[in-house]
């Protein structure tokens, strides 16, 4: 799991639009420019609040505030398994594919209007599971439904998902009636289960993310984010030499920064930056 900043790069284009509008209509409207600056400042301020109030804010608020200035990237299987450990209070020591005696019949019904309902495909079902220290892997054993259920009840394994196998195990054609266990997720549902508010692992995902992003990481994100905010503003304010229109609009926006309180908010953030840099 990694964290990337939401680097808005709309400020220059929005200011360019204001200049063009002034050039054509002699009208200045900073609405969209202010909208972008609000998002930039709100993100940096949220990061500061997370640093200052880490122990007080809830996991949900922590994640909501994080999304104001950054987003989760490279969420992988290792992260998913770490969250599952939190959810089940289960220490994973390994992963294995368990061959089973289950067989699922998939009925085919296709072929340009012709009836192929008689064509049934037999799918043998294996299970991808994670296990703890109490489970001893037997790679030469085919597991029955009863054995699998006992392993679950004894809290020795957690079933992640099904694995289809079109060929019989060791040449045998097992025909135990298919049974659907309680799976953690599959290739289509894992994003929902971990990152949707209704997903079974969502609260544990938030807890895991909060644990991974400590104050040291937050301070680093704050400094990087604030540097980006400063550069975005510098980029538009330095362009007053491009033309008389630019000069006039940027001069007007310098007053807007004071009027809207943006300069004051940015100064406070930069003062925090100086303190962080001083102690690091």
CA–CA distance, 65 with 49 (Å, rounded to integer): 9
Residue ranges making up the domain that contains 140? 89-188
Q: Please enumerate in sequence order all residues whose Cβ is within 8 A of that of 192, keeping only pairs 6 or more positions apart, or say none.
A: 198, 199
The model's pLDDT over 60-69, given as tens digits with 9 standing for 90+, comes to 999 999 999 9
Q: What is the pTM of this model?
A: 0.85
The torsion angles phi and psi of 198, rounded to 5 degrees, stand at -90, 0
Alpha helices in 89-159 (DSSP H): 145-153
Same domain, 238 and 264: yes
* Residue 184 shares a structural domain with residue 246: no
Asked if the structure places residue 84 within a domain, the reply is: no
Whether residue 219 is found in the same domain as residue 177: no
Contact predicate 257/263, CB 8 Å: yes
Query: Quick one: tokens of 76?
Result: 């992988």
Residue located via tokens 């997903």: 199
Tokens coding 11: 């400020």
Q: What total number of domains does the chain contain? A: 2
User: Which of 138, 158, 188 delimits the end of a domain?
Assistant: 188
Upper half-sphere CA count for residue 17 (Cβ side, 13 Å): 10
Determine, yes or no, domain membership for 135: yes
Residue 103 lies in a domain: yes
Is residue 94 located within the same domain as residue 183? yes
pLDDT at 277: 85
Query: Does 195 map to a domain?
Result: no
pLDDT digits 0-9 by tens, 151-207? 999 999 999 999 987 665 555 656 678 898 999 988 778 889 999 999 999 999 999
Segment (H or E) for 88? helix 77-88
174 and 95 both lie in a single domain? yes
What was the pLDDT predicted at 64?
96
Residue 193 lies in a domain: no
User: 248: which 2 tokens?
Assistant: 């006039």
Does a structural domain hold residue 194?
Answer: no
Q: Report if residue 205 sits inside a domain.
A: no
pLDDT at 190: 83
In a 13 Å sphere around the CA of 206, the CA atoms on its Cβ side amount to 18
Residues of the chain with pLDDT under 50: none
Q: What is the pLDDT of residue 227?
A: 95
CA atoms within 13 A on the CB side of 106: 10
């Amino acid at each position: 799991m990694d964290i990337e900043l939401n680097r808005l790069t709309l400020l220059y284009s929005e200011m360019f639009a204001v200049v063009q509008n002034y050039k054509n209509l002699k009208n200045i409207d900073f609405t969209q420019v202010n909208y972008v600056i609000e998002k930039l400042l709100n993100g940096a301020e949220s990061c500061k609040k997370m640093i200052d109030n880490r122990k007080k804010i809830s996991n949900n608020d922590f994640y909501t505030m994080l999304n104001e200035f950054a987003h989760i990237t490279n969420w992988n299987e290792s992260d998913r398994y770490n969250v599952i450990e939190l959810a089940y209070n289960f220490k994973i020591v390994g992963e294995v594919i368990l061959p089973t005696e289950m067989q699922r019949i998939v009925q085919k019904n296709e072929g340009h209007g012709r009836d192929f309902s008689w064509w049934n495909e037999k799918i043998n079902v294996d299970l991808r599971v994670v296990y703890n220290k109490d489970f001893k892997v037997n790679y030469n054993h085919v597991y029955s439904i009863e054995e699998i259920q006992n392993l679950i009840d004894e809290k020795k394994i957690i079933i992640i998902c099904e694995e289809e196998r079109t060929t019989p195990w060791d040449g045998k054609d097992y025909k135990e009636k298919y049974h659907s266990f309680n799976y953690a997720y599959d290739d289509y549902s894992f994003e929902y289960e971990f990152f949707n508010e209704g997903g079974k692992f969502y609260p544990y995902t938030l807890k895991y993310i909060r644990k991974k992003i400590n104050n040291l990481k937050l301070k680093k994100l704050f400094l990087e984010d604030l540097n980006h905010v400063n550069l975005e503003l510098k980029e538009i304010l330095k362009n007053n030499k491009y033309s008389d229109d630019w000069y006039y609009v940027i001069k007007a926006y310098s007053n807007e920064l004071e009027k809207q309180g943006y300069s004051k908010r940015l100064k406070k953030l930069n003062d925090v930056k100086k303190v962080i840099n001083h102690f690091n």
